[in-house]
Structure 1
């Protein structure tokens, strides 16, 4: 007889439920949130398991790697579907959630999610920390700009290293404003120094990776976008067709078709938000900043003429995702003339 296990994971503990092929609960328990504790609990029964399910979450990659290394058939499942199943019951507990996950393992009513490789997780952490510092620097800059406006002091277009010098110049005649702005300027300077370190790590990682170097041959795609796409896709072979990549990153329109209604909406915005945003930025750079002409820029400007620039940038971002995936699979660089490419 086959046996199935469901796990509801929290930061401190994991609720586990084991059932048989008929859906009968064999045993339940709660252990600490470590792969060793879970593996020990599972191995106590001496039974083999057909499937072991846990929801995608902060601890999921660590638990998945630890349990997989022990030869356990663990599956990381998509959370939105489980949330929809759980909403049918007015009572929500960790124990009930573990039972629900075990039943989905038995019936097969789940959608497995891809767990990224350790290297991709490490590189994504660098990108995430870099993005955090960028937001913090912007927030400090906007705070200084906004507070000085109340005194009629306008920083203007000063950015980067010139920002602090401009603020100090404006507040030089007012010691109170200077004393209030200086701590934020020093904090901003410290963040910029650490941001430079992360930028160097990103550039080094992209330079040392053959896939990233190939992706950067696309106009508008730099080290950050290439590395984000590399880590977001992780394993390109899991997509049978390149056209599926655009939908994976939420760059295709929503659609509602029921009865006599059939309408399309804005893009779904599902999947990796960082990659989606960076692809949009790359599309913007391609259409408005790059000087070298290419078939892709010609196509994007034609879309902009018909539908507007905003829709054109989204369309180019979606096509960039498709092109970059195909380049990765085929091992080819970007071709500026369309007749030279098989895409």
Structure 2
């Protein structure tokens, strides 16, 4: 008889529910959220497991790697579909969640999530750490601006390197305001140093990563965007069509259709936010800062003239996802295209 298991993972303990192929509960337990403890539990059951499901979470990749290394058939479930399947339960408890996941795994009504390789997970962690430091720097700088505004001082928009000097120039001999601002400036300076260190680590990785170097041949795509895309996709063969990458990253419009109602909204924003933001910024750079002509930029500018620059950035970001995936899958270089001359355009 086949057996299936559902894991409701929390930080300290994981609730486990094992069911047979008819859906009957065979065993329930609470096990420490450690790969070794889970492996020992399943080996102690005395029968082989057909499938072990756990929802995607911060611990999922680590636990999945430990279970599969021990030869157990673990699968990571897409969270939204699992939540929809368990939404009919009147009471949400860890025990009920484990039971629901076990039944989902048994019936096959789930979508498996790709578990990234250790290298891609470490790269993404680096990019996430860098973004966290950058966001906190912005928060502190905005806090300094707010303190100065309360004193009637307007900072303007100085460059980041000139920020501290401009603040001290405005504060002048105001001892009270200086005592409030100087600790914040010291923290900003420390964070700027660490941000530079993290950026250098990104550049060192990209320098030795052939896929990233190839992707940087696309206008607007720099080291951060290339590494974010590389770490998110991991393996290009897991996407059957290049256009699927844009949907995977949440760059395609949402749609609600019911009877005579058919509404198409903004982008879904599902998937990896880090890669989506990087592609959006790359699209902005391509449209605004790039000076060399390319068929991709020409297409984006046509969209901007028809629909506005905001929609054009999203459209170009989606197109960039397709282009980068195709270049990676085909081991190809970026095609700039051929600009039509005035004489070649029909009158």
With structure 2 as the length reference, what TM-score do the two structures score? 0.96
> For 1:120 and 1:53, how far apart are their aligned partners in 2?
22
Displacement of 1:46 in angstroms is 1.9
For residues 239-267 of structure 1, the C-alpha deviation after alignment (integer angstroms, 9 at most, x for no partner) is 00001111111111111222122221111
SS of equivalent to 2:75:
strand
Displacement of 1:157 in angstroms is 2.0
> For 2:170 and 2:312, how far apart are their aligned partners in 1?
41
**Is 1:114–2:114 an aligned residue pair?**
yes
Q: Post-superposition, which runs of at least 4 consecutive aligned residues in structure 1 deviate over 4 A?
A: none
SS of equivalent to 1:297:
helix
Matches within 5 A, 1:125-140: 125-140=125-140
Matches within 5 A, 1:283-298: 283-298=283-298
Q: Which residue of 1 aligns with 2:343?
A: none
**Is 1:145–2:145 an aligned residue pair?**
yes
Matches within 5 A, 1:1-343: 1-337=1-337
Contact kept in structure 1, 2:85 and 2:104, CA below 8 Å: no
> For 1:324 and 1:332, how far apart are their aligned partners in 2?
10
> For 1:58 and 1:237, how far apart are their aligned partners in 2?
25
For residues 155-189 of structure 1, the C-alpha deviation after alignment (integer angstroms, 9 at most, x for no partner) is 22212221001111111221111111100000000
Contact kept in structure 1, 2:301 and 2:312, CA below 8 Å: yes
Displacement of 1:278 in angstroms is 1.1
Q: Which residue of 1 aligns with 2:345?
A: none
SS of equivalent to 1:201:
helix
SS of equivalent to 1:337:
coil
Moved more, 112-121 or 252-261: 252-261
Displacement of 1:310 in angstroms is 0.9
For residues 64-100 of structure 1, the C-alpha deviation after alignment (integer angstroms, 9 at most, x for no partner) is 0000001100000011122122221111111111111
> For 1:39 and 1:50, how far apart are their aligned partners in 2?
14
> For 1:7 and 1:317, how far apart are their aligned partners in 2?
36
> For 1:97 and 1:214, how far apart are their aligned partners in 2?
44
> For 1:18 and 1:151, how far apart are their aligned partners in 2?
64
Aligned-residue CA RMSD (Å) = 1.1
Displacement of 1:338 in angstroms is 5.5
> For 2:280 and 2:135, how far apart are their aligned partners in 1?
18
SS of equivalent to 1:204:
helix
SS of equivalent to 2:300:
helix
Contact kept in structure 1, 2:2 and 2:50, CA below 8 Å: yes
SS of equivalent to 1:68:
helix
> For 2:260 and 2:171, how far apart are their aligned partners in 1?
64
Displacement of 1:12 in angstroms is 0.7
> For 2:89 and 2:64, how far apart are their aligned partners in 1?
28
Displacement of 1:296 in angstroms is 0.7
Displacement of 1:149 in angstroms is 1.3
Displacement of 1:138 in angstroms is 0.6
* 1:279 to 1:338, Cα distance in 2 relative to 1, 3 A: farther
Would you say how many aligned residue pairs link Structure 1 and Structure 2?
339
